[in-house]
Amino acid sequence: MDPFSSMDFPPLSTSAGGSSPPAKNWKNIVIEADPVTKDLPLSHLPLEPAIVPFAGERLVKGSEHWNLCLVGNSGCRRPYYEALLGAIRKTWTLKASMQLLTLSDGFFLLGFSTLEDYEMAWSKGVWFFLGRPFLLQKWSTKFRPKHENFSSVPIWVKIQDLPLVCWNSEGISRIARKIGIHLVVDALTAQRTRLSFAHVCIQVTADDSFPDEIPISIEDEVFSLKIQYEWKPTICEFCKSLVHPSSSCPKKPDPTTIPEQQNLPRSNVSRGRSRSRKPPTHPTGPAATPQKTNFVGQNRIPADLPSTSLNQSNDVIAKNPKIQQPESSTPRLIPAVLSGMVSTS
C-alpha cells in the first residue's frame, strides 16, 4: 500500500473561479517583492579570493560618486534628522542642492552638487547646530562610520599678528605644524587682504598639543605669536576620542564595580568621623608619664600650673565656701570656673 496516497493529501483549494492561478516566474516574484532599477546594474565576475581587493582603477571608479561628500558627527548623542536638516538649511546659504544621508553610529553624509557649496561647508570644519558642535571632515576611501575611527578632526585657528616676512606658504606651514597637520587657509589669508591674523585649518589628533603661543625668531630676535582657537575638541580620557566627552564614553568603567570599600567589613567603614586628626602627644614622646592634675571643687587643674595660679585658686575657695572637694573620681570640667583660675601675670 502506498503510504503517500492521494487520500492522505487532498488537492489544494483553487480560486473562486475554479481554475488554478497561473504559475509565476521566479524573476517576476523577486521584482515584485523589491522593485529594481537599471541605475546600478550588477556585474558578473569570476570567483573572488578570500580577501576581496579594492585598489587602483577600481578604487578611483568607486570614489567618483562621493568626491563632493563630507562626513558629519555631533558626538554620541545623535540629533534628529529633520531637526538637523532644518538647522543646516537655516545656517547655510547654498548655491545648489544638498543631500543629507544617515550613516550608522551617529554619522551623517552630506552630499553637495557644487564644489563651491562643498568648500563653504568644509571651510569652517566645525559648525554649531542645535546647540552642539557638528564636526565635519572630508570623505575618504578608508572612512568607516565608527567613533574609534574618528581619531582626527579639522579645526580653524587664528595666528595673530603674523609677521609679513612669514606670510607665505612655507612660513604659515612651519608655524601651523606646531599644532597639527596644516590643511588649507581661507581666501583672505591666501590673498593677503586681511593682515591682522592668518586663518588656517589644521587637522589635529588626541596626541597633538594646543599651544596658546608659538615662539619664533627673526634674525635671532625671539618673540611669541598668539594662537586663537575657534573651537577645541574635548579629548576623552578613556578612549582618546575627539567626538564625545569622557562622561559619554561607552568604554567608561562602571562605577558600581570600581570601589572596593563596598566589600569591606562594617568596622572599617567610615561613619562620618574624621580620621585625619592625630591624638595629642606629650613633648617627650608617646611613652611619657601622663600629666598630673589637682582638683579644686569639681574642676580639673593641671598640676604644672605656676604657684601663683594655685594661690589664686586657694583664694577662690576661701571666697566661695560652697566649692567642695570632689566626691567621685571622675570630676566634671567647668570651663567658666577654670577660666577664672588662669594666672594673668
Question: For the segment 309-318, what is each residue's pLDDT rounded down to a tens digit?
Answer: 445 555 555 5
Of 175, 167, 169, 225, nearest to 192 by C-alpha is 167
Average pLDDT over residues 188-217: 91
Is 82 part of any domain?
yes
In a domain, 321, yes or no: no
Q: Choose one of 149, 174, 194: the last residue of a domain.
A: 149
For the ranges 91-100, 102-111, 277-286, which has the lowest average pLDDT? 277-286
The domain total for the chain is 2
Over the stretch 272-312, which tens digit does the pLDDT of each residue have? Answer: 455 555 555 555 555 555 555 454 444 454 555 454 444 55
**pLDDT tens across 151-172, in order?**
777 788 999 999 999 999 999 9
- C-alpha count within 13 angstroms, C-beta hemisphere, residue 316: 18
Asked if residue 337 is part of any domain, the answer here is no
Q: What is the grid cell recorded at 14?
A: 483553487
What CATH number does residue 93 fall under?
Answer: 3.30.70.330
Q: How far apart are the first and last CA of the chain?
A: 133
Q: What is the DSSP annotation of 42-85?
A: ----PPP-SS----THHHHHHHGGGTTEEEEE-SSSPPPHHHHH
State the Cα–Cα distance between residues 108 and 101, nearest whole angstrom. Answer: 6
Indicate whether 294 belongs to any domain: no
Q: Which helix (H) or strand (E) holds 318?
A: helix 307-319
C-alpha cell at 74: 555631533
According to the model, what pLDDT value does residue 49 have?
77
How far apart (Å, rounded) are the C-alpha atoms in residues 204 and 251? Answer: 22
Alpha carbons 57 and 141: distance in angstroms, whole number: 13
Q: Which domain holds residue 184?
A: 152-243
Look at residue 25 and tell me if it is in a domain.
no
CATH number at residue 217: 3.30.70
Give the chain's mean pLDDT: 73
Task: Report whether 154 contacts 125 (CB < 8 A).
Answer: yes
Distance CA 160, CA 294 (A): 78
Distances (CA, A) of 212 to 7, 145, 179, 296: 91, 32, 10, 71
Among 206, 223, 243, the domain-final residue is 243
The CA distance from 74 to 103, in Å, is 13
Looking at the domain assignment, is residue 68 inside a domain?
yes
Q: Measure Cα distances from 216 to 12, 171, 209, 224, 308 in Å.
A: 90, 10, 17, 6, 76
> 202 near 155, Cβ under 8 Å?
yes
